[in-house]
């Protein structure tokens, strides 16, 4: 997945700069003008590196650009913003490949075995046998059926 690839690339760039890291916090910015993913890793490790956050962010960006020149993972642009945030912009080719893969997998897209071997009971639509079944029952029926399918797609 692209998020793990970006985290791995940032971790490698930090290692190249002599900084060992734990978790790399990567998130979707609220404003799409700030890219598809953003990280504050330079702000977190600037003191450890003995640099200003923006300087560390620029160093990380340059290391990432070198690494990405050798291995294309679907990033079109990397920029430093504010006091040291690093913004990642995904390429059009990445989205094209992703949509093509979704269409190729069709009904099996998203299917996995994370709940394999587990039994899950989803209770929904419990009409009163002494009253008419009406449109109000439809909502709980649709939600229950959807939840049951999500569990089924996860292997339960």
Active site residues: 131, 134, 137
CA distance 66 to 64: 5
47 sits in which H/E element = helix 41-49
What lies within 8 Å, CB to CB, of 104 at 6+ separation is none
Determine whether 93 is exposed, middle or buried from the number of CB atoms within 10 Å of its CB (0-12, 13-18, 19+).
exposed
C-beta separation of 45 from 96 below 8 A: no
């Amino acid at each position: 997945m692209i998020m793990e690839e970006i985290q791995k690339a940032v971790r490698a760039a930090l290692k190249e700069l002599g900084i060992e890291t734990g978790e790399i916090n990567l998130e979707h910015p609220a404003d799409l003008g700030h890219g598809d993913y953003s990280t504050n890793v330079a702000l977190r490790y600037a003191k450890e590196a003995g640099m200003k956050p923006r300087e560390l962010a620029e160093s990380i960006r340059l290391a990432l650009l070198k690494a990405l020149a050798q291995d294309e993972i679907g990033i079109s642009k990397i920029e430093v913003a504010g006091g040291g945030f690093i913004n990642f912009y995904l390429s059009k080719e990445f989205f094209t490949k992703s949509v093509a893969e979704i269409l190729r997998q069709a009904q099996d897209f998203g299917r996995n075995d994370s709940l394999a071997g587990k039994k899950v009971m989803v209770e929904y639509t419990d009409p009163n046998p002494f009253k008419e079944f009406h449109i109000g029952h439809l909502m709980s029926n649709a939600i229950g059926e959807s939840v049951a399918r999500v569990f089924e797609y996860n292997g339960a």
